[in-house]
Structure 1
Amino acid sequence: PQKSDAEIEAIARDMWGNMARLAAEYIFLDALFDFDPDAAKPGRVEVRGIDHFVAIAGEEKPHILFTGHLGNFELLPVAAATFGMNITALFRPPNNPYLADYIHSTRRSSMGALLPSAAGASFALAAILEKGGNIGVLVDQKFSGGVETTFFGRPCQTNPMLGMLARHYDCDVYPARCVRLPGNRFRLEIEDKLDFPRTEEGSVDVDAT
């Protein structure tokens, strides 16, 4: 809200530039992810929060990881799979069915299971958590009819699914993101699990979340 019109326009241009790079990087995900914990110096990808990745992979209970359309967010499930985490990522397939099939097969080989965001996806995610699995979701999308909140000081509606799943399964929820670095490099970060607001009964408060 405090940005000038010129600054907002510059941010918007950078956003479209990031999406263009993301589209070009789709087919090179395996080559882009070169993280090696034993390397003397960082490669193209560095990872912060390795202990979290390893801990989640070793726990026999459900987890939710969430991120936004930041950097090359597609590298996050690749990192999760690299550290042995069994995770199903929710994704929106392209409208072109041939391109959708190609991307689905390409991405599944490097980042584990994929779940198209279509009717019934929330029930499929719930079924995965019910079995003790892990899911990854994007949360920075407009959702008409969702929970009223604010984003950068502006009113908007957001999908309550993450809070509802966290409440129902009382599972740990971790935020993650990808940051673009100079020199065509990336930093993948997973932060400490979130401590959600609770109701008087002790369950996760979906609206406050």
Structure 2
Amino acid sequence: MAKRDSSLQLAVDWVSDRMIRALLWLLMRVPYDRRVVLAGWLAAHVLAPIAGYRRRIRHNLALIMPDLPESEVRRMQRKVPENLGRTLIELYSGPEFAARAARATVTGEGLPALDAAHAEGRPVLLVTGHIGNYDAVRAALLARGFKVGGLYRPMNNRYFNDHYVEAISRIGKPLFPRGRHGLSDMVRFLRSGGMLGIVIDQYMRAGVELDFMGHPALTALSAAEMALRYDALVVPTYGIRQPNGLDFDLVFEAPIPSGTPEAMTQALNDSLAAQVRLHPDQWLWTHRRWKKPRV
């Protein structure tokens, strides 16, 4: 039965990937600005209802922002998947997206610290979340000549994963898959003075229960643990989408002080929570971020 189920899942994955490939091919035939807008519209009005995203957004908002007016909840049900669609097609747009990110405005206290770390050859962890377009920071820093890599979680659909990794590789390399496979290469890169982009706002079964936006959420301590182990600077970074939906403001906050892994990770959670409250429609409320751990 397990083998049959596995074969069925592979077939489903293959078919769904072919549909995604066809849609991406069509979108890539459209000029960049219109492509991004169209991808956002499709995600908000076609993908979101089919995938159940609207229901999950409403559920998460009821937990975190219970007093949000109904009109704002409905707006968020449109804008959150719209940002997801825009982000996905931007990641597939390689050089065009990278050129747009390179022109982004830059703010925050962390940029001088990044410049100093780059000059000293000190490792840096650029910690972010699924807000705006998290890869805009990597693209912009690569354009400035910084040595920046990315840590990514392989997709469950291996057919989709193949071309997804190929796409984000066109923005810049190196990239390291989360887990044992990419660990040794990632460590060597960090020790050589590289900067590594990490997202920390996903549910992690093996994580520690920390506060995120007023509720407990299992959170990985790996970024803080790596920073302590390799004397890496930890800088909260965000690629916030501008009102025109195409350009970005890059925010580099002050480095997180060294402490216990729990204290450092809580500081990162608090930093991200503040950005989510500033730009709620740009965060991925479709995540099961506050899912209860299995007993």
The reply to whether TM is greater than 0.5 is yes
Which of 85, 105, 110 aligns to 1:20? It is: 85
Q: How many residue pairs were aligned?
A: 196
Does structure 1 residue 79 correspond to structure 2 residue 140? yes
2:214 corresponds to: 153
Does structure 1 residue 164 correspond to structure 2 residue 225? yes
Deviation for aligned residue 1:29: 3.7
2:130 corresponds to: 69
Does structure 1 residue 4 correspond to structure 2 residue 67? yes
Are residues 94 and 144 of structure 1, via their aligned partners in 2, closer, same or farther at CA, if it must alter by over 3 Å? closer
CA distance in 1, matches of 2:251, 2:175: 21
Any residues of structure 2 matched to 1:82-121 within 5 Å, and which? Answer: 82-121=143-182
SS at match of 1:208: helix
1:114-138 Cα deviation digits (max 9, x unpaired): 1122444455433433343321111
CA distance in 1, matches of 2:193, 2:166: 25
2:251 corresponds to: 189
Between 9-18 and 183-192, the greater mean CA deviation after superposition: 9-18
Are residues 58 and 110 of structure 1, via their aligned partners in 2, closer, same or farther at CA, if it must alter by over 3 Å? farther
1:5-53 Cα deviation digits (max 9, x unpaired): 634564354322211111222222421343699xxxxx5x323355455
**Larger radius of gyration between Structure 1 and Structure 2:** 2
Would you say the 8 A contact 2:101–2:137 is kept in 1? Answer: no
Are residues 110 and 25 of structure 1, via their aligned partners in 2, closer, same or farther at CA, if it must alter by over 3 Å? closer
SS at match of 2:263: coil
SS at match of 1:149: strand
1:137-176 Cα deviation digits (max 9, x unpaired): 1111111131111111111110010111112122211110
CA distance in 2, matches of 1:11, 1:154: 20
Would you say the 8 A contact 2:237–2:251 is kept in 1? Answer: yes
SS at match of 1:81: helix
2:262 corresponds to: 207
Structure 1: gaps of 5 or more residues: 38-42, 199-204
Would you say the 8 A contact 2:149–2:174 is kept in 1? Answer: yes
Structure 2: gaps of 5 or more residues: 1-63, 265-295
Amino acid at match of 2:107: R
Would you say the 8 A contact 1:64–1:171 is kept in 2? Answer: yes
2:95 corresponds to: 30
RMSD: 2.6
1:72-105 Cα deviation digits (max 9, x unpaired): 1121111121111112200123344444333323
CA distance in 2, matches of 1:55, 1:93: 32
CA distance in 2, matches of 1:176, 1:117: 19
Percent identical: 26
Amino acid at match of 1:145: A
Are residues 92 and 2 of structure 1, via their aligned partners in 2, closer, same or farther at CA, if it must alter by over 3 Å? closer
Between 141-150 and 125-134, the greater mean CA deviation after superposition: 125-134
Q: Of Structure 1 and Structure 2, which has the larger fraction of its residues in strand? A: 1
2:201 corresponds to: 140
Are residues 164 and 106 of structure 1, via their aligned partners in 2, closer, same or farther at CA, if it must alter by over 3 Å? same
Would you say the 8 A contact 1:35–1:46 is kept in 2? Answer: no
Are residues 85 and 124 of structure 1, via their aligned partners in 2, closer, same or farther at CA, if it must alter by over 3 Å? same
Would you say the 8 A contact 2:125–2:235 is kept in 1? Answer: yes
CA distance in 1, matches of 2:140, 2:118: 11
CA distance in 2, matches of 1:112, 1:128: 11
